[in-house]
Amino acid sequence: MENENKNPYVLFNAQILQDWKNNGVGYIKLVELESDLAVKFFELIPNSEIPDSGETIYHIDSEDITELLDPVKQVKFLVHEIYLEED
């Protein structure tokens, strides 16, 4: 039964960042996800260059992206599994 409600997100990590760089990702959009929890969740979307209201775009080689790898209390940076698939 647990598989029926499987979480499609994984925590952003150095391997994902390196894979994206190796696959030509140039930009990452940071989008805050809605949650009733005390933790703030942000989704990272690769190769998205057009921000909507309240969203931020970072170049893949930006120091801001590498800082997302550092643990932060009450904040989680997530990647949806669809962005982890190999082309």
Interatomic CA distance for residues 56 and 44, integer angstroms = 10
Does residue 68 have a pLDDT over 50? yes
pTM comes to 0.84
Q: Give the model confidence (pLDDT) of 32-53 as tens digits.
A: 999 899 999 999 999 987 777 7
pLDDT number for residue 4: 64
Percent of the chain at pLDDT exceeding 70: 90
pLDDT number for residue 13: 97
pLDDT number for residue 66: 93
Interatomic CA distance for residues 44 and 76, integer angstroms = 10
pLDDT number for residue 87: 45
